[in-house]
Amino acid sequence: MLSTPVLPFDLRSEGSFSALGSAFYTRLPATPLPSPYLVGFSSEAAASIGLEPDAFERDGFVETMTGNLTRELDAESLPIATVYSGHQFGVWAGQLGDGRALMLGEIAGPEGVQEVQLKGAGLTPYSRMGDGRAVLRSSIREFLCSEAMHHLGIPTTRALCVTGSDAPVRREEIETAAVVTRLAPSFVRFGHFEHWYAADRPDRIRELADHVIDRHYPACRDAQNPYLAMLAEVVERTAVMVAHWQSVGFCHGVMNTDNMSILGLTIDYGPYGFLDGFDANHICNHSDAQGRYAYQAQPQVAYWNLFCLAQAMLPLLGEGQAGVEAAQGVLETYRTHFPRALDRLLRAKLGLHEVRESDTTLVNDLFKVMHDNRADFTLTFRNLSRIARDGAHADAPVRDLFLDRAAIDAWLSAYRTRLQDETQDDAARATAMNRVNPKYVLRNHLAETAIRAAKDKDFSELARLLDVLRKPFDEQPGNEAYAALPPTWASSLEVSCSS
Ligand code: AMP
Ligand code: MG
């Protein structure tokens, strides 16, 4: 038995996922990794569960977060791996489940109850052909992006830390193992519901939905049909999440239904990417030959995934045709929620408070000229705040990002005309725009540089990069290089499902 637990995990509390019963998960210890070491740590994520910023220095912290101490736990305190199924790349994939993730328990912190999950902690009954491990490279990518998204104000699971070990892990080449500690109020995915729908177990679908409602959507209890109300919440949150992605040029890469959070959180960071030069059809995942999850396809894919969820929840939504129509009605709200959320974000990005009918055209025209010129997504929006309303003298920071100067000049002229309708002066508009247009995003080459250093056991670049991404909207003197256009070597970087 552990005499003094390093973290106050609770795996038995009322209403927790583990209270659902053993059909929903398997209890098992993690598989230890030899001589683990700390790779990275997020003090903000620590604060969200009430840990001190130096918690990582405590005795036993690294071992705990690597899963090395779970063998000593008594049977009811063992971590759990949950079962789910899902559609992968549009095809029913059958049973999947936590093949390499183990939930240690939950912690009640200042931001509510958070589940603590170790990703890469060894084989589970759901590992299928996998080895239960995650490599250092992909664990750093997940860690960095979780925290970067949080600081951008985008709904996401969090990451507390990454630990590493020199234990070899076979991918395309031999790499080393790592474990990323993730935090979320819930790790329930659309696929958890699909699993019980496929098994024809409406009783279990109901149990799961009751858990999600009681724990995460309590207000839905008061609705005439709480399950329909819950679906409506998930539709709205998913729409808002994807609108955020589109507004910062984020591509998830693997929007399978098992990678969709029931809380509308960005989850399972794999071959994701932030767009550098804007290409509406950009495919960040090298394994996605068809471009199913291309940037531009994300909003429609989210709808498709919500459709799968609605189908899986159908037994709870009403009898016969009435249930189907109720579900369809809720799904249709996506078509209002998504454009509304995106419109709000894009207006703020362009510094537009007033509403004009021509605004949609203005925005679409900007995306078109960005696409035609492969203009840098982040810098285009960031630099727009520097435009002067009364003349072209301050256009250079935007203009210089476009090869076709005539095209961007025409757009800037239309934008300037539109700004005449606004009451804010240039300075106030710039301040407001800089609060929503990040200067620093997790470009692929930045993550890659930190990963290369980490592979050589130098974790300082990872810490520095995390520090930059903590304040993505601030001017950070001395850190301008992190906001610069990608170097030429970055264009040959490829990320795939291999992780
Ligand atoms: P992903 O594409 O990462 O969302 O993973 C899809 C499914 O494969 C999930 O059930 C994962 O748990 C499982 N999986 C991915 N990689 C591994 C691995 N190395 N070992 C075991 N299971 C894995
Ligand atoms: Mg996944």
Per-residue pLDDT reduced to its tens digit, 429-486: 999 999 999 999 999 999 999 999 999 999 999 999 999 999 999 999 999 999 999 9
Residue 87 has pLDDT above 50, yes or no: yes
Contacts of 155 (CB under 8 A, 6+ apart): 149, 237, 240, 241, 244, 263, 264, 265, 266
The pair of structure tokens assigned to 392 is: 């072209």
Phi, psi of 292 (to 5 degrees): -55, -35
CA of 375 to the centre of ligand 2 (A): 31
pLDDT band at 492 (very low <50, low <70, confident <90, very high): confident
Ligand 2 center from residue 362 Cα (angstroms): 37
Q: Two tokens at 176? A: 């080393």
* Distance from Cα 99 to the centre of ligand 1, integer Å: 5
> What would the pLDDT profile of 304-338 be if each residue is shown by its tens digit?
999 999 999 999 999 999 999 999 999 999 999 99
pLDDT of residue 71: 93
Q: Is the pLDDT of residue 11 over 80?
A: no
pLDDT at residue 13, rounded to an integer: 78
| pLDDT reported for residue 5 | 61
Assess whether 425 carries a catalytic annotation: no
pLDDT band for 93, please (50, 70, 90 cuts).
very high
Q: What's the predicted TM-score (pTM) here?
A: 0.97
User: Running DSSP on this structure, what letter comes out for residue 36?
Assistant: -
Digit-coded pLDDT (tens) for 200-223: 999 999 999 999 999 999 999 999
Place of tokens 């025409």: 410
According to the model, what pLDDT value does residue 12 have? Answer: 73
Question: Hey, which of 176, 258, 268, 272 would you mutate to test ligand 1's pocket, going by the most ligand atoms within 8 Å of its Cβ?
Answer: 258
The predicted structure's pLDDT at residue 1: 40
The per-residue pLDDT for 3 is 44
Report the pLDDT value the prediction gives residue 189, as an integer from 0 to 100: 98
Q: Where are the alpha helices (DSSP H) in 262-376?
A: 298-317, 320-332, 334-350, 359-373
**Residue 335 has which token pair?**
């078509």
Helix, strand, coil content of the chain in percent (nearest 5): 45, 15, 35
Q: Per residue in 38-81, pLDDT tens?
A: 999 999 999 999 999 999 999 999 999 999 999 989 999 999 99
Q: Are 150 and 211 in contact (CB under 8 A)?
A: no
Pocket of ligand 1 (CB under 6 A): 96-100, 126-127, 130-133, 254, 258-259, 268, 270, 497
CA 247 to CA 344: how far, in whole Å? 10
Average pLDDT over residues 268-293: 96
The candidate with the shortest Cα–Cα distance to 97, out of 79, 85, 111, 112, is: 85
In angstroms, the CA 35 to CA 25 distance is: 29
Give start and end residues of each alpha helix (H) in 374-435: 377-384, 396-399, 405-419, 426-434
For helices 226-248 and 298-317, what crossing angle results, to 10°?
170
Tell me the average pLDDT of the chain. Answer: 96
